[in-house]
Structure 1
Amino acid sequence: MIVIDSNPKDKVYSQLIDLAFEICDEFHLVLRKDMGSLKVVGPILKKLQSSFKEMKEQSEWASTILGDNQTARVYYYFTDENAKKVLKELSDSLYDWVQPHLPEDLSFFKDGKAWLITSSHEKESFIDTQDNYEIKKILSIPGLNAHIEEWD
């Protein structure tokens, strides 16, 4: 596992997004019902419409488990060129993906398994991979502050 130690911004964010799109086949964004309205993020969802895969009401997603029977809308998207362009247009920072201005917890999946897991409001993210090629590519992103940590 690679723990990201500080917020990837600007060129680091852009290169991390490029790599996630190279390796992964989908990503998700989360809309929590208690943190804003669809009116604010509606235009964002519209920009991503051509990349849309599905929306699920979930109490658990890549970085979070809600309690007390709460759910959120989790939007899944394909990693295509349109989506990559939109993610780079809307933000230049991984931890900017927080409501009410943007959907939350931008996270990526490879073959159905969480790969880049982000909890934006907690300012935490990590990459779950044991693939040496991927590790080398991740750690070679200039300016990315990250370290390898073994799973407990």
Structure 2
Amino acid sequence: MLVIDQNPKGEQYSKLIDLAFEICDEFHLVLRKDMGSLKSFDPFLKKLESSLKEMKEQSEWASTMLFNNTAKVYYYYTDENAKSILKEFANSLYDWEQPNLPEDLSFFKNGEEWLVTSSHEEESYIDTENDTEIQRILSIPELKVHMEKWD
């Protein structure tokens, strides 16, 4: 596992998004109902509508578990439309935080977590043991990461 030590911004963010879209087949964004009105997100959600796979009401997602509430978790295909929108609306990984944008942008490869983000906590990691993927991640200029083993 590669832990991301510093918020990827600008070119680092753009290159990380490009890589995630090459490797992964879906991503999710979360709208928490306990954080105010969700109506303001309608224009954003409309832009991503053609990439939508499904929306689920969940109390748990890649980086968070709620105890007495649910959130709307939107699952999207990693297509060119979605990639351009993620780059248009944010300039860093931790920009994905309510009330400005949906939360916790996370990517999945074959149904398994790959890039997991908790924007409020400013924590993220990439769960891979694939040497080629690790080398590609490490080749992103100035991306600050360190290896960590699961116990």
- Please state which band the TM-score falls in when normalised by the shorter chain: over 0.9
CA shift, 1:37, in A, is: 1.8
Q: What secondary structure does 1:92 align onto?
A: coil
Q: What's 1:119 paired with?
A: 118
> After the TM superposition, which residues 42-121 of structure 1 pair with which residues of structure 2 at under 5 Å, given as runs?
42-68=42-68, 70-121=69-120
Q: What secondary structure does 1:122 align onto?
A: coil
Q: What secondary structure does 1:133 align onto?
A: helix
1:115-150: CA deviation from partner (whole Å, max 9, x where unpaired) = 000000100000000000000000110010001111
Aligned partners of 2:79 and 2:118: how far apart in 1? Answer: 23
Q: Which stretch has the larger CA shift, 52-61 or 38-47?
A: 38-47
Aligned partners of 1:43 and 1:102: how far apart in 2? Answer: 11
Q: What secondary structure does 2:67 align onto?
A: coil
User: TM-score, normalising length from structure 1?
Assistant: 0.98
Aligned partners of 2:37 and 2:87: how far apart in 1? Answer: 23
Q: What's 1:20 paired with?
A: 20
Runs of 5+ unmatched residues, structure 1: none
Aligned partners of 1:140 and 1:131: how far apart in 2? Answer: 14
Aligned residue identity for 2:4: I
Aligned partners of 2:58 and 2:100: how far apart in 1? Answer: 21
Q: What's 2:149 paired with?
A: 150
Query: Does the aligned pair in 2 maintain the 1:40–1:100 contact within 8 Å?
Result: no
1:12-49: CA deviation from partner (whole Å, max 9, x where unpaired) = 00000000000000000000001122222111111100
Runs of 5+ unmatched residues, structure 2: none
Aligned partners of 1:48 and 1:37: how far apart in 2? Answer: 19
Aligned partners of 2:40 and 2:120: how far apart in 1? Answer: 18
Aligned partners of 1:39 and 1:81: how far apart in 2? Answer: 26
Query: Does the aligned pair in 2 maintain the 1:8–1:144 contact within 8 Å?
Result: yes
Aligned partners of 2:123 and 2:109: how far apart in 1? Answer: 19
Query: Does the aligned pair in 2 maintain the 1:40–1:101 contact within 8 Å?
Result: no
Q: What's 2:40 paired with?
A: 40
| Count of matched residue pairs | 151
Aligned partners of 1:30 and 1:143: how far apart in 2? Answer: 28
Aligned residue identity for 1:101: N
Query: Does the aligned pair in 2 maintain the 1:4–1:145 contact within 8 Å?
Result: yes
